[in-house]
Chains A and B, each alone.
Chain A
Amino acid sequence: MSQLSDSSSSVSREQIVEAYLKVFQLIDDRVTPLLGKVTTRVLVQGAASRVLDRYPFLHFLVKMPYTEVVPSVLDEQLRGVTTKELAAGLDMLLQECFAGLRELTGNLIVPPLHDEVTRQLEQLSS
């Protein structure tokens, strides 16, 4: 699932931010009804803390619920981060979210959601 990070040179920074915000909204839509709001939030925060060593610019996601993240917040928090680095960081965050979700629920949620997310990112990168 690295369509955007692979093609980041041809995709604008705004497009990347918008794409991942939509992806996280999709995850929220699919996971929250099944596991609850708190679990979904902690899942993303946990994923952010695990990628922090490699992508420290994502630290704000450890403290802030992703549902409160809007483009203006991202713009402010990610100032100075290159488009490529941003795409790679958000992609890794997404993968960690899936890994965490798989640890919790095995294959009950991840496979269909993964497909849905991949399709959405493909649409955006095409």
Chain B
Amino acid sequence: MQSESETVESAYHSSKNGDRLAAIRREMEYLNTIGKRFVAAIDRFQVHRALLAALQELYSFTACSILLKGEPFELSIIPRYPLNPPFIEQMLNRIARAARVIGFPNLTAEELAVAADLDAPDELSPAHSQALMIGTEVRDCLNIPLTVENRIIGMLSLFDERPETFATEQLQLTTMIADYAAVALENVRLREREMALWQQAELERRRLELIISSMAEGLLITNAKGAITAHSLNRSAQHLFVQAQVDLELTQETLLQQLAEISNASWLQELAQIVDQALAGKTVINHELIVGVSGENVPLTLSVSAAPLYDAGQMQTQPIGVVAVLNDITSTKQIEKLKDDFISVVSHELRTPLTSIKGYTQHLIRRIERRLREKRRVQQESGIPSGELAESYDLRSLNIVQGQAEHLERLVSDLLDLSRVQWGQLDLHYSTFYLADLLTECVRLAQASAEQHVISLDIQVKDSRIEADSQRISQVIGNILGNAVKYSPNGGQVIVRLAERQGDYLVSIIDHGIGVSPEYLDHIFERFYRVRNTASRPYSGIGLGLYVAKAIIERHGGNIWLARNNGPGSTFSFTLPHKPRTGPLNS
């Protein structure tokens, strides 16, 4: 049995525990209520409102402020009623001092005054009369750092015009409220940043859309399988497809290959292959596609560049699609055709008078040579001392005319060949002959007009029988030998070597001249290309010989290239199969 005193004591403890439980319940309900307010806050003004509401239940104070770290920092002052300027000044001083304590950069009250933003929610700031603006001095102040995940993001400050407003008993709860506010403010900040990023992304998207829709080039974007929809093409690309008579009424994703079959457009198959290459990770640049009917004078021609498209977050893995740019180069081709036609016509027109000039010059040379022989014979028979005859001067002049006419003829031939190569009309007439014999003849001819040079032949094959266009091969060798002599201005040795490599003949022409800089090696076979490192001395030529030479060798199924020697000079090499790998065009 419990004694009376024990019963009283038990009742006392029970009552005390009950009070404590009730207090804890009240505190939890309070925290739950304010927590909900903070969670519901979607902007910083709502956070301020929730904060003020929560703090007002703990204290009666004049104003509070929120200082947030950042570049620039932000300061919001939330008054409960209108504040006197001296009071604000003291608030700012207190904020600046407390901020220094928790590691804010050195802020001054003046800087805070400039940045301060006054935020007084209407419903929490009932219109106070001027008489209430009595406080001119901060008599009590409490600063609680705002922390989120172990870092201080700012500081909550409370101010009152009366002393001893803030109590130790409420400090823990105030810190909890500050923690709620900190998380809510951080969420608002993240939301604002997200919104800003979204707006920026949207702006970029619109800008890109405008650029894509207004660009003159066609743009085609496929998916990872190489399929397109009607929306995969920009306006220019759609226009090109319409020009090419390809129906783009696609109801679902369609592979380019399928579209090619549906549309019976072979160029689409080629485009599908380009897309496949890009999907394999390769970038294709300026691949020409003839879209129009080949019978047309200049068919619709596209220059296609395609590149793999990677996911921004997963670079260097499988492409998620391909971006292809389609450039209509038909007008360029038309201009090129006009130019080539012009060159062809002019070359033909030049050839006729040139043939006459050459023929008549040859005729005159023979006549004068005969006359000269006759006069010398008469002089010898009559014992007249032989002097310089007027016919000798005439002969030299005519030889010069003939030499220049031949040079002009070569230029005209090159121009005609250019035109033929451009339009795939380079005629080859195959016959069987010995390549060694051809090289011997070419060397003999070149040596005849290269007194300063020694051109030697190095035949390393026993049998050099070949089926090729001897005239064209001779043209190639003559051209390369001419270059070897021209670009060895101080004379020297030129070696013409015939060897065998992987079942093909390999012809190498090695000179010891001025050589070619490495940056020009890739361009030397381009048409009208002239190497600029020879500018110290002007060399004649129009940059077509090697372009035509390349076309001739490739038409035979061989390869041609230029390499720098270890010492001075360079080596031109080309291979020729024993029998042509490609049939003669138009022959």
Q: Which residues of A contact B (CB under 8 A)?
A: 33-39, 42-43, 45-46, 49, 99-100, 103-106, 108-109
Contacts and interface: CB of A to CB of B under 8 A. Distances in A.
B15 to A, nearest CB: 27
Contact of B143 (A36, A46, A105): A105
A46 B168 contact: no
Given A104-B144, A108-B166, A46 B175 contact: no
A109 to B, nearest CB: 7
Interface string B93-104: 010011011110
B166 A39 contact: no
B101 A105 contact: no
Closest A-B pairs by Cβ, 10 of them: A100-B101, A38-B147, A104-B143, A39-B145, A108-B168, A34-B171, A103-B101, A103-B98, A42-B102, A46-B103
Nearest to A104: B143
B473 interface: no
A96 to B, nearest CB: 9
B558 to A, nearest CB: 72
Contacts of A45: 103
Contacts of A43: 101-102
Q: What band does the interface of chain B fall in when counting residues whose beta carbon is under 8 Å from A?
A: 20 to 34
Nearest to A34: B171
B150 interface: yes
B175 A36 contact: yes
A88 to B, nearest CB: 22
A35 B173 CA distance: 10
Contact of B150 (A33, A38, A109): A38
Contact of B100 (A35, A46, A106, A109): A46
Given A36-B145, A36-B147, A42-B152, A104 B102 contact: yes
A49 to B, nearest CB: 8
The binding surface of chain B is classed by DSSP as mixed
A108 B171 contact: yes
A99 B102 CA distance: 12
Nearest to B97: A103
B172 interface: yes
A38 B145 contact: yes
A45 B102 CA distance: 9
Nearest to A99: B101
A66 B245 CA distance: 78
Interface in B87-112: 94, 97-98, 100-103
A66 to B, nearest CB: 14
B391 interface: no
Most buried by B among A33, A36, A43, A99: A36
A106 B159 CA distance: 11
B142 A33 contact: no
Nearest to A109: B168
Contacts of B101: 43, 46, 99-100, 103-104
10 contacts: A33-B172, A38-B150, A39-B102, A39-B152, A43-B101, A46-B102, A99-B101, A104-B102, A108-B168, A108-B171
Most buried by B among A46, A99, A106: A106
B98 A104 contact: yes
Given A34-B172, A35-B145, A36-B145, A42 B166 contact: no
A65 to B, nearest CB: 10
A85 B226 CA distance: 76
B142 A39 contact: no
A78 B102 CA distance: 25
B142 A106 contact: yes
B253 interface: no
B110 to A, nearest CB: 19
B98 A34 contact: no
A103 B166 CA distance: 14
Most buried by A among B102, B141, B143, B167: B102
B140 interface: yes
Nearest to B151: A38
A103 B102 CA distance: 10
Contacts of A105: 142-143, 166, 171
B170 to A, nearest CB: 9
Given A39-B145, A43-B102, A46-B102, A106 B151 contact: no
A124 B175 CA distance: 33
Given A36-B175, A42-B102, 12 more contacts: A35-B145, A35-B171, A36-B145, A36-B147, A39-B147, A46-B101, A103-B100, A104-B142, A104-B144, A105-B142, A105-B166, A108-B142
Nearest to A45: B103
A23 to B, nearest CB: 19
A100 B381 CA distance: 133
Nearest to B98: A103
Nearest to A37: B150
A35 B144 contact: yes
